[in-house]
Each structure stands twice: as C-alpha cells, then as structure tokens.
Amino acid sequence: MTNNVLLNNVDHKDLRVITTRSARYGDDAMYAITFPSEFRNIQAHYPIVFRKNAQGQFEPIALLGFQERQNLFLTRRGWDATYIPLTIDRLPFLIGFSADKQPMMHVDLDSPRISRTEGEPVFLPHGGNTEFLERMSSVLLAIHQGIAGIQPFVAALQEHDLLESFVLDVQLANGSQNRLAGFYSIHEERLLGLDGAVLERFNRAGYLQAIHMAIASLSQFRALIERMNRRNAGDL
C-alpha cells in the first residue's frame, strides 16, 4: 500500500528519510525502469533490456537480478555499485500533478524509509529545503524528463523492427540451470542494415548513442552471473 501526499514544510517539517540500502527498505527489486538519457550511467553497471509493461508497451529497464525480488547488487554492506538507477534512488519521493497538470513533489508516507527520528532531514528548522531534498527534486526532474523520452525512442526502434525477444540460458557454478526469458534487446544486424538517412535521424535525436549504450550494456550479463555465483556461495 502507498500513502502519497503532496510534500509541504508544515505537515512534514520533521520528516526524515532513511537512505540505507537494504531489502527491508524496498530495494529488493529485480529491475528498475530507466530511460535513454540515463543509459550512459546505467550501462557501466547493469544490463539494459526491454520489457512489455502492463499496458503492452515496451520500456527499457536496468536488470538487477534474474528473478522477482532479487537484487544482486544488494550486499551486507549496502548497494554494491557507484550508481543507483534514478527510479530507485528517488524513493520515497514521486511526481504527482496539480489540477492544471503541473508536476508536483509528493512523498509516500507509508514507505519504510520514512522516519521522524533517523535519516536525512527533508526540511531545515526554519522551513527551507535541505540539500538532500534539493537533490531529490533534481532526481525527480530528471526522471520526469527522461520518462517523457521513452515513448518516441521506443517508437523509433519499433518502426525499424529493432527489438527482438531473447532467451538467456545460464549454468551457474553450482551446476544449476537457469533461464531468463520475456525480455527484449536491440537487433544488431538490423541496426547495421539501416540506411544513412535513418542513422542520421537517429543521431540527431540522440537515439544512436542510446542504442549503442544499450548494446554495450549486455556485456554486464557476465558480471551479473558472477554476482549470482558469489551469492550462492555466500560471498555476498
């Protein structure tokens, strides 16, 4: 359950947010939604693949594990990567909209990260925003702008039939066989077959760089499998 309300410095003057990374605070996610403008940071740590959401629309995600509620980047010491996907980093804050459709900063008061006694303060004693809240506001703005770019990016990929389903069969060090299915990646051969005019259009829109970042990110599957092996061995 969630309890999303408009953030304000009167009702929430003593609000604090626990920033520790742990499954108990909701970080045990198999994936995080991402967007083309974030791909450069994501590809350094996580595979970028595509899935169909509940509305049947494609969306890019950063893969964190191989099964539901498995985040292989969570360790006893916290989050084991220098970059956390913004759609996870922003919690417990989210974007809501006013009556005239203007984005407004909301907070989920039922989030396990909410506290009145520990964590990062949201407001200063006199009511101003803390540096933490300013950073969260910037994160939400980046997400808002980035999410808006997903649909045209995916539409361009679909126009040229550049998304293909894939199956990843993994044999772990303990001998177990595992299969990852239901996701999509960019079809490299079809990409190479695009003519110059299409590539120029992609480049001008910023899509070509995002495409290459997504393709390069697939090399992170090896690291993700190694994390699974280490977890099975009790090393994570």
Per-residue model confidence as pLDDT tens for the chain (236 residues):
789 999 999 999 999 999 999 999 999 999 999 999 999 999 999 999 999 999 999 999 999 999 999 999 999 899 999 999 999 999 999 999 888 888 899 999 999 999 999 999 999 999 899 999 999 999 999 999 999 999 999 999 999 999 999 999 988 888 888 889 999 999 999 999 999 999 999 999 999 999 999 999 999 999 999 999 998 887 76
Instruction: Measure Cα distances from 137 to 12, 28, 186, 215 in Å.
Output: 16, 24, 32, 30
Q: For residue 43, give the nearest of 179, 186, 156 by alpha carbon.
A: 186
Q: What are the phi and psi torsion angles at 12 (to 5°)?
A: -120, 30
Exposed/middle/buried for 202, CB within 10 Å: 0-12, 13-18, 19+?
Answer: buried
Instruction: Measure Cα distances from 180 to 8, 39, 117, 135 in Å.
Output: 43, 21, 42, 35
In total, how many domains does the chain have?
1
Domain assignment of residue 219, given as a range: 4-232
